[in-house]
Amino acid sequence: MRKTLLFLCILAGSFGWAQQTGSISGYVVASNGEGLPGVTISATGDVLPQPRSTISQASGSYRLTALPPGNYQVTFTMAGFGTVKANVVVRLQGDTDLPVVMNTETTEEVMTVQGALPLISKTSTEIKASFDDEVFKELPLGEEYRDMMRMIPGVQVTEDSIRGPSAGGSGQDNSYKFDGVDVTLPMFGTLSSEPSSHDIAQVAVVKGGAQAVNYNRSGGITVNTISKSGTNEFKGEISFKMQADSWSAKEERETVSALVGETDRSWLTASLGGPVYRDRLYFFVSYYAPEYERSNRSNSYGDLKDGESDRDEYFFKFTFSPTDSLTLHASYRDSSRDSYRLNYYANSAPTVSSSNKADQTITILEGDWILTNNASMSFKYTSYDLDTFGGPDQILSVKPSDAADATIDIDNINMMGSVSLANLRDADEYGLFNQYMAPILEKYGWLDTTTGQYMAGTVGAYSTINDQDFQRESFQVSYDHYAAFGYSEHTFHIGFKTSLDEEDLYRDRNGWGYVSFLYSDFQGMPAGDYSYEELAGIPFIQAEYLRKSDAGNNSIVHSEYKAMNIELNDNIEWGDWNFNIGVLLSKDTLYGQDLKNDSNALSGFVESLGSKYEMYEIDWDKMIQPRLGALYRINETDTAAFSYAKYNPVASSLPRAASWARNYHLLRTRAFFNVFGEIIPDLTYDRSSSSGKLFVPDMTPRGIDEYMVSYNKQLPDGWTGKFNARYRKASHFWEDTNNNARSRFGDSANLEGNSAEPPSNTDDYIPELNAYREQIGSGSSYVIAELDGAFTKFYEVGANIEKRTADWYLNASYTWSHYYGNFDQDNTAYNNDLNIFIGSSIIADGAGRQIWDFKYGNLRGDRRHLLKLLGKYNLFWNATVGANLFYQSGQPWETWNVDVYREWTGSSSSTYRFAEPAGSRTSDAHYQVDLTYTQRFTFAERYNFELKVDIYNLTDNQTGYNINPYYSSSTYGEPRSYYAPRRFKLTAAFKF
C-alpha cells in the first residue's frame, strides 16, 4: 500500500489541475446530426489575456479546460462550413454545455448561450449552486463573506457571528475558500477570520455528491469564491455605504437589557483593474475600510466609554498569459483590524473591557498549462496567516500562586481579576454568607433603583490575555487527460495536495483570572460571630487561573495538523449515461508539544519540554473516501442521478486540546479562599480535562457516508427545476472523556424517560493509563476516545426552481430536512457562538454529559422547514429592485438541570446536562423580507453613478432564539438572542 501511494504521489507531482477555473464542452455536429472531427474551437474571454483553442475529436466532442470564470466568445471554424460564434459565461467549478450545429453555408452565425444559471449539468451528480456578482450585488446582502450563505438553497440562515450554518453537519463542519484558499479557521472549522465580499466575482457552493476533485472532505457545505480580475479595459469603482443607529427599529426583548447605546456602521470600497500589457498581463487592486462605532453607552453601572472597530484591507491580483497555453495568477490580500471596548455587558463595570486586533494575509501563486488538446496541468501554492491579539484594557499587578500562604485581597477584590459578585441568599438559610457578602455588594455592586438593593455584577478587569496566531500553507498539483475508448469517453483526473495547519498560542489570566463567590457551604449557618477555626476551611471565593510551571512562563504552545491527499477520478461518458468513479485518499498527522516520541518507553513518549512530538497518525488505509455517481440523460435537457460519497473531515482541535503543553502552559487551576482571603490548600485542584491527554490506539476517524438521488428538468418557459433527496450519517466521533466513563457513569442511562442503553463495554478506554502517566510523570485522567455509538443523521428533500431573463432573475427553493442524533457539536456551551474544540469539548466530560444522558434527539442545527425566495427585476428607468425572503423553522432546545444527575456528581453546573431528550422543545419559527432598490445614472457613455437603499427585516420580526435552557435560572425558557430589527443602509457608488 505504501509503495503504491508513494508512486501515485510522484506521478501527481508531475502534473496538475486547477480548482479556480471552469470549462466549455459539447459536441459539434453537421446539419445531418453526424459528429464533425477536426473543427477548430477558439475561446476569447474578458479575463483571459490570450485565446484558448482546441480541435474536436472523432465523435465531434470537444472540451476547453482551465478557463478563468468570466464572459467568453467561442468561435467554431472548419473549411467548407460557415463559421459559428457563441457568447457564453463560464462558471467557477462549472462546465458550460455548448452544442453546435455547423451548416455548409459560408455565412457567419452568432448565437448566445445562457451560460449563467440556471443550468443543468450533464456531467456531474454534485448538488451545486452558483451566483455571480450581477446577482448578489443587487440583492440585499451584507458586506461580509458569511452573508452570502443567505443565498444558498437549502442552507439555514444563522445570525451567529462565528459559527457557520448547519447544512448536513455542525456549524464547524463547513469548508470556506477564498480564491481557492482554505480560509476556514485552522483546527476549529469556523469562519471567524476576515474575508469580505466586496471584490468577489462568483460564488460556487457544493452541498453534496462530491467527486474526487478539489479535495472535498467537508462534513457540511463547501463554499468557494473567485475574485474579480483585470481585463483589457480599465474599470474602477468607489463606493461608500452607511448604516446609522437611527435607521434601525427599536429592539424588542422579553427581558430588557440594561446595556444601551448607539451603533453606527460605514463601509468604504475602491477598486481598479485593467491591462499592464494588453492581451498579456492584467491587474486588479482593491481597498476595503469598514468602520464600526458604539457611542452613548450605559449599563447598570452607569456610563461607558465609546467603542470602535476599524479595518483596512488591500488586495492585489495579476493575471499573466505569456503564451496562449499558459496562464499564471498571483495575488496578495492584507487585512488589519483594530477593535476597542466592544465587549461591555449589561451588569459589568466599565473597567471590565478589552481590545483586540487581527492581521490577516492571503498569498496565492497558481498556473494552468494546456499541454495538448486532451491534457492540461496546473499547480497552486497558497499561504494563509491570521495573527490575533486580545487582552484587557486594565492589566492587574497581582500574581496568582498555589502556595500554602497565598491570599486574595477581599478589601480590594476589584483588583484581583474578573470578579463575578453574588447576590444575597435566603436570610434563614444563608445568614452568615449574607453577613460577609453584603458589604462587598454595597461597595462593588450596582444599585437597583426599583428596590433600593445592591445587586451582583462583574467588576475588576477583563480576565484573559490571548495572543493567538494561525497559519495554513498548502501546495497542490494535478493532471487532467481526455481519452476515447470505443463508445466511451473518459476524463481522467489525478491530484496531490499537502497542507500544514499551525497554531501558536500564548495565553494567561489577568490577576487571579475568573473570580467568583460561593455560598453552598454556608447553608444552615445563621449570621453571627464564629471562631477562626470554624470559618478557616469554608470556601467563600473561587479563583480559576492558568498555572504555569517554571519552564512554562512566557512560553508559546505550538500545534500542527498535517494533511496529505491523493485524488483519482474518472468521469465517463457512455451514450446517455455519465459515470463518475473516484476516490480520495488522505493521511493526517497531529503534532503536539512538550513530549518526545520514544519507542522504548512504556507509553511511547517521554517528557521533553519544548519538543514537538507526533501525538497521533491517521494513515491512508483509515481514510479511503469513495466518490461514485451515475447520471442518466433522459433527453437533451433533463437528467436523473445517484451518488455515494464518503467524507473524513479534516478539522480537529486535538493538536492543542490534547497537547502535553497544556500541563505546563494552559493548565486551569482552581483555588479556594475563606472569608479571611486565605487559600485553602486542600481544596486547590487542576481541572483534569484541561491537561495533556493520550489517545486510544487504532481508532477509526470520524466519517460521513452520503447517499443522494436527484432529478433535474428543464421546465416550460425557461424555468429550470432541480430536485434532490439526500441522506447523511456521521459516526466514529472522537472526544476527550474520563478513562473510566463507561463504568463510572453508565448507570445514568437508566433514568426515567431516557431511551438510551447503558454502554455494553464498561472497560477503561486505556487500561494501562495510570502506568503510562506514572512513566511520563504527568498527564490527564481523561483520554481521547472514539465514543461508542455516537452518531448524527441527516435527511433532506429539496426542490429548487429558477429562471433568468434579460430583465429579471428568480430563485425559489424549499427544503425539508431532519438532523438528529446523540452528538451535538453545536450545543456544548452557555454561549454556543464560539470556536469550540472539535474533539475536546464538554461532551462526555463527567456525569450527565455522556452520549447516553438524554442526548438522543433533534440537534440544535435542525431546521425542519426552510423556504427561500430571492430575485431581482430591472426597471425601465435604469433601476433595479431586489428581494431576499426566507422562512425557517425554529431552533431545538431542551432543559438543562444538574440535579437530575445528583447521584453521580456534586457539581453545581447544569451546562450540557440534559433533563429531557435533546431537542424536546423548539423556539419560534422566523420569516424575514429584505429589499433593495438601486438607481443608476449614466453619463458620458462609460461613467455611472449609483444610489442604493437596502431594507433588512422589512416587517421587523425580532424572533427570539438561543433559548435559555438552565432550569434554575430566573429567565429559563426565554430567548437570549434575537434576529436583528428592521434597519436601512444607504450606498453611493461611482463606476467607470
433-458 mean pLDDT: 95
- The strand pair at 694-695 and 782-786 is best described as parallel
| Number of CB atoms found within 10 A of residue 81's CB | 18
The DSSP secondary-structure symbol of 639 reads: E
602-611 mean pLDDT: 95
Residue 155: what are its φ and ψ, rounded to 5°?
Answer: -110, 125
Cβ pair 784, 696 in contact under 8 A: yes
Residue 321 maps to a domain:
no
Please state the separation of Cα 819 from the chain's center in Å: 18
For residue 418 the three cell numbers come to 474578573
User: Residue-wise over 248-261: b if at least 16 C-beta within 10 A, else e?
Assistant: beeeeeeeeeeeeb
Task: Specify the number of domains making up the chain.
Answer: 1
Residue 856 maps to a domain:
no
Q: For residues 749 and 758, what is the distance between their CA atoms, to the nearest angstrom?
A: 5
Terminal C-alpha separation, the chain: 58
- The strand pair at 446-448 and 541-547 is best described as unpaired
Cβ pair 985, 247 in contact under 8 A: yes
Q: What is the pLDDT of residue 256?
A: 74
Q: For residues 669 and 103, what is the distance between their CA atoms, to the nearest angstrom?
A: 82
Cβ pair 790, 851 in contact under 8 A: yes
Q: For residues 985 and 948, what is the distance between their CA atoms, to the nearest angstrom?
A: 8
- Most confident of the ranges 163-167, 253-257, 953-957: 953-957
Helix (H) or strand (E) holding 514: strand 514-517
Q: For residues 300 and 25, what is the distance between their CA atoms, to the nearest angstrom?
A: 66
Q: For residues 685 and 511, what is the distance between their CA atoms, to the nearest angstrom?
A: 18
CATH number at 44 reads 2.60.40.1120
Greatest C-alpha distance within the chain: 112
149 exposed, middle or buried (CB, 10 Å; 0-12, 13-18, 19+)?
A: buried
Q: For residues 192 and 180, what is the distance between their CA atoms, to the nearest angstrom?
A: 17
Please state the separation of Cα 506 from the chain's center in Å: 23
Question: Taking 90 as the threshold, does the pLDDT of residue 735 lie above it?
Answer: yes
For residue 669 the three cell numbers come to 487551576
Using alpha carbons, select from 26, 123, 116, 32 the residue that is nearest to residue 76. 26
Residue 22: partners with Cβ closer than 8 Å, 6 or more residues away? 67, 68, 69, 90, 91, 92, 93, 94, 95, 96
Question: Taking 60 as the threshold, does the pLDDT of residue 5 lie above it?
Answer: no
25, β-bridge pairs: 63, 97
Q: Which residue has the cell 456544548?
A: 828
Place 132 in a pLDDT band, splitting at 50, 70 and 90: confident
Cβ pair 364, 328 in contact under 8 A: no
Place 313 in a pLDDT band, splitting at 50, 70 and 90: very high
pLDDT (tens digit per residue) in 652-707:
999 999 999 988 888 889 999 999 999 999 999 887 667 899 999 999 999 999 99
Q: For residues 223 and 203, what is the distance between their CA atoms, to the nearest angstrom?
A: 7
- DSSP characters for 344-370? --TTB-TTS-EEEEEEEEEEEEEEEEE
Three-state DSSP at 620 gives helix
Q: What is the pLDDT of residue 547?
A: 81
pTM, rounded to two decimals: 0.91
The DSSP secondary-structure symbol of 902 reads: T
pLDDT greater at residue 970 or residue 623: 623
Q: What is the pLDDT of residue 113?
A: 56
Three-state DSSP at 632 gives strand
Using alpha carbons, select from 172, 210, 192 the residue that is nearest to residue 861. 172
In one-letter notation, the amino acid at residue 486 is: G
Full residue range of the structural domain in which residue 76 is found = 2-119
Residue 77 maps to a domain:
yes
Q: What is the pLDDT of residue 919?
A: 97
Cβ pair 911, 941 in contact under 8 A: no
Question: Taking 60 as the threshold, does the pLDDT of residue 732 lie above it?
Answer: yes
Residue 20 maps to a domain:
yes
Q: Mean pLDDT over all residues of the chain?
A: 92
pLDDT (tens digit per residue) in 381-439:
999 999 999 999 999 999 999 899 999 999 999 999 999 999 999 999 999 999 999 99
Q: What is the pLDDT of residue 688?
A: 61
Question: Taking 50 as the threshold, does the pLDDT of residue 13 lie above it?
Answer: no
Using alpha carbons, select from 218, 228, 210 the residue that is nearest to residue 92. 228
136-161 mean pLDDT: 90
Three-state DSSP at 436 gives helix
Sign of the C-alpha dihedral, residues 424, 425, 428, 432? negative
Using alpha carbons, select from 523, 557, 522 the residue that is nearest to residue 540. 522
For residue 397 the three cell numbers come to 499587578
Place 356 in a pLDDT band, splitting at 50, 70 and 90: very high
Question: Taking 80 as the threshold, does the pLDDT of residue 3 lie above it?
Answer: no
Helix (H) or strand (E) holding 433: helix 431-444
Question: Taking 90 as the threshold, does the pLDDT of residue 554 lie above it?
Answer: no
Question: Taking 50 as the threshold, does the pLDDT of residue 18 lie above it?
Answer: no
For residue 765 the three cell numbers come to 478506554
501, β-bridge pairs: 472, 561
Q: What is the pLDDT of residue 552?
A: 46
Residue 875 maps to a domain:
no
815, β-bridge pairs: 798, 866
Question: Taking 90 as the threshold, does the pLDDT of residue 715 lie above it?
Answer: yes
Q: Which residue has the cell 497518525?
A: 617
Place 334 in a pLDDT band, splitting at 50, 70 and 90: very high
Place 193 in a pLDDT band, splitting at 50, 70 and 90: low
Residue 872 maps to a domain:
no
Place 551 in a pLDDT band, splitting at 50, 70 and 90: low
Question: Taking 60 as the threshold, does the pLDDT of residue 740 lie above it?
Answer: yes
Sign of the C-alpha dihedral, residues 155, 156, 160, 163? negative
Residue 26 maps to a domain:
yes
Place 93 in a pLDDT band, splitting at 50, 70 and 90: confident
Residue 98 maps to a domain:
yes
Q: What is the pLDDT of residue 111?
A: 66
User: Residue-wise over 195-209: b if at least 16 C-beta within 10 A, else e?
Assistant: bbbbbbbbbbbbbbb
Cis peptide before 195 (omega within 30 of 0): no
Q: For residues 926 and 886, what is the distance between their CA atoms, to the nearest angstrom?
A: 8
Percent of the residues in the chain that have a pLDDT greater than 90, as a whole number: 80
For residue 738 the three cell numbers come to 474520563
Using alpha carbons, select from 920, 890, 915 the residue that is nearest to residue 900. 915
493 exposed, middle or buried (CB, 10 Å; 0-12, 13-18, 19+)?
A: buried
Q: What is the SS3 string spanning 174-231?
A: CEEEECCEECCCCCCCCCCCCCECCCEEEEEEEEECCCCCCCCCCCCCEEEEEECCCC
Residue 309: partners with Cβ closer than 8 Å, 6 or more residues away? 290, 291, 292, 337, 338, 339, 340, 342
Q: What is the SS3 string spanning 814-870?
A: EEEEEEEECCCCCCCCCCCCCCCCCCCCCCCCCCCCCCCCCCCEECCCCCCEEEEEE
Sign of the C-alpha dihedral, residues 860, 861, 864, 869? positive
pLDDT greater at residue 553 or residue 129: 129
pLDDT (tens digit per residue) in 884-940:
999 999 999 999 999 999 999 999 899 999 999 999 999 999 999 999 999 999 998
Q: What is the pLDDT of residue 58?
A: 87
